[in-house]
């Protein structure tokens, strides 16, 4: 007898995530929506990840673990999970993050009522001190809104003053996703790339302003370090879609050019920091004078330190029990 098809398949790629994996697993299994499956693809971990999953799952039949022999990156791991996912909805979830207990129930209800193919919710960013802050400056009382292709590209530029929509974790309608899969070349920006290609195919996307996803910020997170090879890979992925994007009109062309310029500036910034670290001050000054648009980026480390200091001051004296999960 065939098992009942789950309403939601939660697909999680994991690489050496043992310290946070048990909490992540429990936050999925404790969802108010119980008709789900959790597919964890271990991407060649060398730590105790598999033992952590087994202990957290405690024999729950909704958990399936697939082990990769070698590390292939988040795209490859998620693709393997997608191949076996049976749910009508696919939720992408990272192995070091958490969900509010009602997240999947709320998102599926929203997605089915609004008739969208992709739904993203706001994030609450937290760290080991438990400090919580919303990723997007949105009022939780604001209505959900549609995100167009132009909106998505325009709000997904690196080192922008406004956070990138590409960081939000999508809920996909499995029927809309069909055979489309993640790029296995990208180590950062793989969610953005997949959503972009879906939007190009005519999928409709909705933004839920309430923050049900809990994004853990820590030093070993892949997305916390933007390296030159990451930027170049994302630029190459964008170039592969240049013809399709150009055919969508001048507004989308302008948004894409803005995104490309942001990448180019990030590459200059990377070279500038490299020269400053090597105490090559004359070449660094020459580069800054040739590309003055990069100079504002030099304030980012200072701003980041001030934010961390502010978070420490807010949580001083608070109990370090971690973030509350209530929405």
Name 68's Cβ contacts closer than 8 Å, sequence gap at least 6.
41, 42, 43, 44, 76, 77, 80
Give pLDDT, residue 327: 41
pLDDT above 60 (res 8): yes
- pLDDT band at residue 222 using 50, 70 and 90 as cut-offs: low
Give pLDDT, residue 1: 43
In this prediction, residues 88-108 reach a mean pLDDT of 98
CA 189 to CA 156: how far, in whole Å? 10
Q: Report pLDDT digits (tens) over 277-295.
A: 889 989 888 888 888 888 8
One-character DSSP codes across 242-280:
HHHHHTT-HHHHHHHHHHHHHHHHHHHHHHHHHHHHTT-
Q: Is the distance from CB of 36 to CB of 28 less than 8 angstroms?
A: yes
Closest C-alpha among 151, 168, 161 to residue 254: 151
CA 133 to CA 123: how far, in whole Å? 8
CA angle 196, 199, 205 (to 5 degrees): 105
Closest C-alpha among 86, 81, 77, 1 to residue 35: 86
Give pLDDT, residue 218: 76
Within 10 Å of residue 144's Cβ, how many Cβ atoms? 17
pLDDT above 70 (res 174): yes
CA 283 to CA 34: how far, in whole Å? 59
Q: Report pLDDT digits (tens) over 239-271.
A: 999 999 999 999 999 999 999 999 999 999 988
The percent of residues in the chain predicted with pLDDT above 70, rounded, is 89
Give pLDDT, residue 288: 83
Strand partners, 172: 90, 118
- pLDDT band at residue 321 using 50, 70 and 90 as cut-offs: very low
CA 300 to CA 297: how far, in whole Å? 5
Distances (CA, A) of 325 to 77, 121, 218, 321: 27, 15, 18, 12
Give pLDDT, residue 169: 97
CA 183 to CA 191: how far, in whole Å? 9
In this prediction, residues 186-215 reach a mean pLDDT of 97
CA 221 to CA 228: how far, in whole Å? 16
CA 199 to CA 154: how far, in whole Å? 14
Mean of all residue pLDDT scores within the chain:
89
Instruction: Specify the higher pLDDT residue, 301 or 174.
Output: 174
The percent of residues in the chain predicted with pLDDT above 90, rounded, is 74
Q: Report pLDDT digits (tens) over 23-70.
A: 999 999 999 999 999 999 999 999 999 999 999 999 999 999 999 999
Q: How far is CA 28 from the centre of its chain?
A: 17
Within 10 Å of residue 96's Cβ, how many Cβ atoms? 20
- pLDDT band at residue 132 using 50, 70 and 90 as cut-offs: confident
pLDDT above 80 (res 187): yes
Give pLDDT, residue 53: 95
Q: Is the distance from CB of 201 to CB of 178 less than 8 angstroms?
A: no
Strand partners, 211: 122
| DSSP tag of 179 | T
Rounded to two decimals, what is the model's pTM? 0.88
Side-chain-side CA neighbours of 148 within 13 Å: the count stands at: 9
Side-chain-side CA neighbours of 272 within 13 Å: the count stands at: 20
């Amino acid at each position: 007898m065939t098992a009942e098809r789950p309403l939601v398949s939660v697909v999680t790629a994991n690489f050496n995530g043992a310290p946070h994996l048990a909490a992540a697993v429990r936050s999925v299994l404790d969802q108010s929506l119980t008709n789900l499956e959790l597919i964890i693809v271990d991407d060649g971990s060398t730590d105790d990840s598999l033992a952590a999953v087994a202990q957290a799952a405690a024999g729950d039949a909704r958990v399936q673990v697939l082990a990769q022999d070698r590390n292939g990156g988040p795209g490859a791991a998620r693709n393997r999970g997608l191949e076996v996912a049976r749910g009508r909805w696919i939720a992408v979830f990272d192995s070091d993050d958490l969900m509010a207990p009602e997240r999947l129930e709320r998102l599926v209800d929203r997605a089915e009522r609004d008739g969208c193919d992709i739904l993203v919710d706001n994030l609450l960013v937290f760290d080991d001190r438990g400090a919580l802050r919303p990723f997007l400056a949105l009022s939780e009382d604001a209505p959900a809104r549609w995100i167009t292709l132009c909106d998505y590209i325009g709000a997904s530029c690196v080192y922008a003053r406004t956070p990138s929509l590409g960081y939000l974790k999508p809920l996909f309608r499995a029927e809309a996703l069909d055979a489309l899969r993640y790029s296995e070349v990208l180590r950062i920006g793989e969610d953005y790339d997949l959503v972009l290609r879906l939007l190009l195919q005519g999928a409709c996307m909705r933004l839920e302003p309430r923050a049900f996803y809990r994004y853990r910020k820590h030093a070993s997170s892949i997305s916390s370090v933007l390296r030159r090879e990451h930027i170049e890979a994302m630029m190459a992925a964008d170039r592969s879609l240049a013809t399709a994007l150009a055919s969508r009109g001048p507004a989308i062309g302008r948004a894409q050019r803005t995104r490309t310029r942001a990448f180019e500036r990030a590459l200059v910034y990377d070279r500038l920091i490299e020269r400053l670290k090597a105490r090559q001050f004359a070449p660094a000054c020459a580069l800054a004078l040739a590309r003055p648009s990069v100079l504002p980026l030099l304030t980012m480390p200072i701003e980041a330190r001030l934010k961390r200091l502010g978070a420490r001051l807010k949580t001083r004296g608070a109990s370090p029990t971690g973030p509350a999960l209530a929405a």
